[in-house]
Amino acid sequence: MEALYAWLNSLQNKNKNEFSQWTLIKWANPYVIEDYQRQREFLLQNLKDNSLYKNTKPYWNYISKGCEICASGKWSCLFITNKCNAKCFYCPTQQIRDEKPSTQGLDFDDPYEYASYINHLGFKGVSFSGGEPFLFFERILKYLKVLREKCSKDLYIWIYTNGILVDESKLKALANLNLNEIRFDIGATGFSLDKVRMAKDIIPNITIEIPAIPEEKDNIIALLPEMIEAGVRNLNLHHLRLTQHNAPHLVKREYTIDSAERPLVIESELAALEIISAAKKSGLNIGINYCSFHYKNRFQKAGYRNIISDKLLPAAKITKNGYIRDYKDHSISYYSIKLFNDSDEVPFASSIEIGKYKYSYTVTKVFEENKLSSKQMEAIDELLKNEPTSPPTDALLFTIWQFEYIENGLRDW
């Protein structure tokens, strides 16, 4: 069996084992996958000139500046709280309690420390997410004010919200601190555009960001002209995925689940592509992009790894995926860096200062092969010089290819 198929088989086994308690999950079989691939290829062919980031982000018209910054790897998402006041069936996590503002496993009680972190690592964009950020509105204002005081005036800042607690006075307070963009999840409010309309002419850029819910596809297409009238510049559609938290709800809807690095709803991807195709066919003046799981799992993660690796170990050989490569003497290894709030509890950690704040970091070996033959080294040399157009069939080369390159998430595999 080729390395690719062995890897795909391992993903399927992992996912089915992780969700074994949900006996009614409709896992995709080969016949379903064949039909799905046929439908997807037809839709993608219609969008062949409208696809970004190695075909992981199909789009129509344009994408927002925030999305461009995200794709460049220069985006930091600060989770202001993990508490939410909505009960969306598709939410991937339980969001019932407030926690410290955090990002990438780092806590930031102090907005000045967060601003220092943003400046030192060179982020170009910041978003406030949750939970529901508007539950702690004064906290948002505090962090936004400090970022505007201490960071570059060009820092692009946006906020995510379900809109339930949004009112005109809060929108104006955010606008006074130069918030660049607001993103509404209207799926939490029955697809109402009332709060979206309220933001028009107050916040410069208005986006709707929702999962591509299969049964709402026609409703979303019908709403597109109203979105434009309400001042919406962008519609971002996410890939619906199965988690332990939302499994009871998704099982009831009888979605078909495909095994990738995480279990994904097949019908969600098709719905997203159909919505984009409908907007293109009508020539609607709105930017729509499909933020696929493959994009998020590759480009977002690789972007952060690249920033951390470059800042902490700039002399190291860093791959496109942000791993550190050590290749010499018939041996090849890959390492990953993790940054922590300063703590004595992290074993084998090194220390670093970012501004006046102290942190710890670890360098962890994630792969090693130390008995390479001369023939293997020749093949690796060729791989490192030229990214292949399809995954290598050799198991060793396939693994190295995964560490070296940001894989194309919409290939027929």
User: Is the four-CA dihedral 306, 411, 383, 395 of positive or negative sign?
Assistant: positive
Provide CB contacts within 8 A for 67, sequence distance 6+. 234, 236, 289, 291
- DSSP codes joined into one string, 164-232: TT--HHHHHHHHHTT--EEEE-GGGGTT--HHHHHHTTTSSEEEEEEE--GGGHHHHHHHHHHHHHTTE
Q: What's the confidence (pLDDT) of residue 409? A: 55
Evaluated on CA atoms 81, 87, 90, 92, the torsion sign reads: positive
According to DSSP, residue 331 is labeled: E
Which of the 8 DSSP states describes residue 240?
P
Query: What residue type is assigned to position 258 of the chain?
Result: D
For the whole model, what pTM was predicted?
Answer: 0.94
| CATH architecture of the domain formed by 9-302 | Alpha-Beta Barrel (3.20)
Sheet containing 256-259: which strands, arranged edge to edge? 26-27, 256-259, 263-265
Position 344 scores a pLDDT of 62
Note the maximum CA span of the chain: 69
Give the rounded percent of residues in the chain with a pLDDT score beyond 70. Answer: 98
- Structure tokens that stand for 341 in this block: 């709030």
What per-residue confidence (pLDDT) applies to 410? Answer: 46
User: pLDDT tens-digit profile of 320-379?
Assistant: 999 999 999 999 999 999 999 987 677 778 888 988 899 999 999 999 999 999 999 999
Q: Are 360 and 380 in contact (CB under 8 A)?
A: no
Angle at 64 between CA 194 and CA 101, to 5 degrees: 75
Q: What letter represents residue 234's amino acid?
A: N
pLDDT at site 123: 97
Residue ranges with strand state E in 262-384: 263-265, 287-291, 317-318, 324-328, 331-341, 350-354, 357-369
- Beta-carbon contacts of 405 under 8 Å, excluding residues fewer than 6 positions away, are 319, 320, 321, 387
Q: C-alpha 400: how far from its chain's center?
A: 23
Do the beta carbons of residue 365 and residue 334 sit within 8 Å? yes
Q: What tens digit of pLDDT does each residue of 193-240 get?
A: 999 999 999 999 999 999 999 999 999 999 999 999 999 999 999 999
Please answer whether residues 120 and 354 qualify as being in contact, where contact means their C-beta atoms are separated by less than 8 angstroms: yes
341 closest CA partner among 351, 326, 355, 327: 351
Q: Rounded to the nearest 10 degrees, how much is the dihedral formed by the CA atoms of 18, 22, 25, 27?
A: 30
- Domain boundaries along the sequence of the chain: 9-302, 305-404
Q: Looking at residue 171, what is its pLDDT?
A: 98
With CA atoms as reference, report the closest residue to 271 among 313, 239, 224, 319.
239
Stretches in the chain below the pLDDT threshold 50: 410-413
